[in-house]
């Protein structure tokens, strides 16, 4: 395999030769557009570790394959990464939603063979597209039901359950030749803030962390996960005041020392507020490398001058004695070794082929139908129903209120829920889309005699949704509330809980409505 030499001692400034190549060998930027920008192509030729693709970079399978081919032409050793969690967070299916159930549904089904098959299906779709590193599975234990950023991305609130499904998903993905990434170490599931927007703090004791947060990560490391992604959260009992991404006690002490992880440590995106909000991205890059991160995910919509600024900051830290040159060399070499692993054909091809049923799914990403991947009927069995909701849905004269609230930064603007599938199944609910600022005006159009089906996500943690539901209950004879996120503890705001809003989950819920003949 060709590529840039990253061995040897640091010499010279950031603008010259080997030093620049080594530093670039730790960076993983995003970029704007659906074709490879000139600056990315140039830096790939200089030794850039790779790129991270986002939904906005993808418009079709043909375009994506051409893009990944261009990346490899510029640097055959490039890592091509993506966030494809196979649920609410999807990049391959950013325009229509993922055809898989998502982690929370898989955890509720608790069939590790099905979870492994989903991992295989995701891996084959990514490999077909030319992607070799997937920032999945999410290994967080979602112990806080009001968590604003993890929720249905987690397999569940039970550490042992999350661990066995983390292992199965990882094994399936890597059997298809795509590197897995356990995230968000050492665990983002008990936070009440989104690290895209703030710096969350977790005050759990070390024993609690070891018996809860660390359990899925330990299992995934033992199963051979090639990479682990850090979280921008402060664990006050492990390293007070320092985000995990910048913490040597957490990365070198716990992840490498205690859990024995020898692969690539990836930073979560450094453009997030939890990482660079007060210090800027170049300083965040230096701090992440010094703490033990190997591959720095910079973010999205990056630019050539921005990358040059990061290279200069790392070089200045080396020259000033604040960052050992050997740390940069070590990181770049780990990244190159990962790329070499990903360039080899899957070693367990027979096992992968045995998991396939041979029929291609009818989707534009050419993902394969895999024996054991839950279909819509199996997914529907994982829903949580209150008796009142189940009885009420046998009624008629229903209208629905769709609550579109701001999506978190991880999910983006992916289509969600059953809305696309309702018409095809003959369920003709009269709908109202409710905007946060004007919902009282919107619901005035609904007849007071109508039964109302409210469909939202993460309802209980959104005060405006709670207020809307109470207003509807005061006006209408029957209100059933559907939560397609992670439900809170109050069933009034989740009479039906689907634990996900991917295209497959939406189809499953639409089928349920069709079977109950909920029509206007």
Catalytic residues: 196, 268
Task: Give φ, ψ of 111 to 5 degrees.
Answer: -115, 100
Residue 20's contacts (CB-CB under 8 Å, 6 or more residues apart) are 14, 46, 47, 311, 315
Tell me, letter by letter, the H, E, C secondary structure of 175-221: HCCCECEEEEECCCCCCCCCCCCCCCEECCCHHHHHHCCHHHHHHHH
User: Distance between CA 87 and CA 155 in Å, rounded?
Assistant: 11
- Asked if 425 contacts 516 with a C-beta cutoff of 8 angstroms, the reply is no
User: Distance between CA 158 and CA 245 in Å, rounded?
Assistant: 25
User: Distance between CA 380 and CA 96 in Å, rounded?
Assistant: 20
User: Distance between CA 122 and CA 132 in Å, rounded?
Assistant: 11
Task: Give φ, ψ of 239 to 5 degrees.
Answer: -155, 85
Q: What is the dihedral of CA 509, 490, 433, 364, to 10 degrees?
A: -40
- Asked if 194 contacts 149 with a C-beta cutoff of 8 angstroms, the reply is yes
């Amino acid at each position: 395999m060709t590529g840039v030499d990253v061995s040897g001692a640091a010499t010279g400034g950031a603008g010259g030769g080997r030093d620049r190549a080594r530093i670039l060998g730790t960076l993983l930027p995003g970029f704007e557009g659906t074709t490879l920008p000139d600056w990315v192509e140039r830096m790939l030729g200089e030794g850039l570790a790779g790129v991270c693709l986002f939904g906005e970079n993808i418009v079709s399978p043909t375009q994506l394959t051409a893009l990944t081919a261009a990346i490899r032409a510029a640097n055959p050793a490039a890592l091509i990464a993506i966030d494809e969690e196979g649920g609410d967070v999807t990049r391959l299916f950013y325009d229509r939603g993922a055809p898989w159930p998502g982690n929370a549904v898989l955890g509720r089904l608790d069939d590790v063979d099905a979870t492994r098959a989903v991992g295989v299906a995701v891996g084959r779709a990514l490999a077909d597209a030319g992607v070799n590193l997937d920032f999945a599975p999410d290994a967080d234990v979602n112990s806080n039901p009001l968590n604003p950023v993890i929720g249905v991305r987690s397999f569940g609130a039970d550490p042992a359950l999350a661990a066995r499904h983390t292992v199965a998903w990882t094994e399936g993905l890597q059997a298809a030749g795509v590197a897995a990434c356990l995230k968000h170490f050492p665990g983002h599931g008990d936070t009440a803030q989104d690290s895209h927007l703030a710096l969350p703090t977790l005050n759990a004791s070390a024993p609690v962390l070891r018996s809860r947060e660390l359990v899925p990560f330990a299992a995934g490391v033992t199963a051979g996960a090639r990479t682990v992604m850090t979280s921008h959260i402060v664990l006050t009992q492990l390293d007070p005041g320092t985000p995990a991404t910048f913490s040597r006690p957490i990365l070198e002490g716990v992840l490498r020392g205690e859990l024995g992880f020898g692969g690539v440590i990836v930073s979560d995106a450094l453009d997030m507020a939890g990482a660079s909000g007060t210090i800027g991205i170049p300083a965040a890059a230096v701090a992440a490398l010094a703490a033990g991160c190997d591959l720095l995910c910079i973010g999205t919509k990056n630019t050539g001058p921005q990358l040059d600024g990061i290279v200069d900051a790392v070089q200045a830290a080396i020259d000033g004695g604040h960052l050992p040159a050997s740390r940069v060399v070590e990181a770049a070499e780990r990244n190159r070794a990962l790329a070499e692993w990903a360039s080899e054909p899957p070693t367990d091809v027979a096992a992968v082929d045995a998991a396939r049923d041979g029929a291609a799914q009818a989707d534009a990403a050419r993902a394969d139908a895999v024996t054991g991947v839950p279909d819509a009927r199996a997914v529907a069995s994982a829903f949580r129903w209150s008796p009142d909701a189940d009885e009420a849905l046998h009624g008629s004269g229903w209208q629905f209120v769709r609550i579109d609230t701001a999506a978190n930064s991880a999910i983006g603007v992916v289509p969600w829920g059953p809305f696309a599938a309702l018409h095809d199944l003959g369920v003709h609910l009269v709908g109202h889309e409710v905007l946060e600022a004007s919902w009282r005006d919107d619901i005035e159009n609904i007849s007071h005699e109508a039964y109302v089906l409210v469909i939202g996500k993460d309802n209980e943690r959104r005060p405006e949704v709670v207020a809307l539901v109470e207003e509807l209950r005061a006006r209408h004879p029957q209100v059933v509330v559907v939560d397609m996120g992670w439900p809170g503890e109050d069933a009034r705001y989740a009479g039906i809980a689907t634990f996900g809003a991917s295209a497959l989950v939406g189809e499953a819920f639409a089928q349920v409505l069709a079977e109950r003949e909920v029509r206007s």
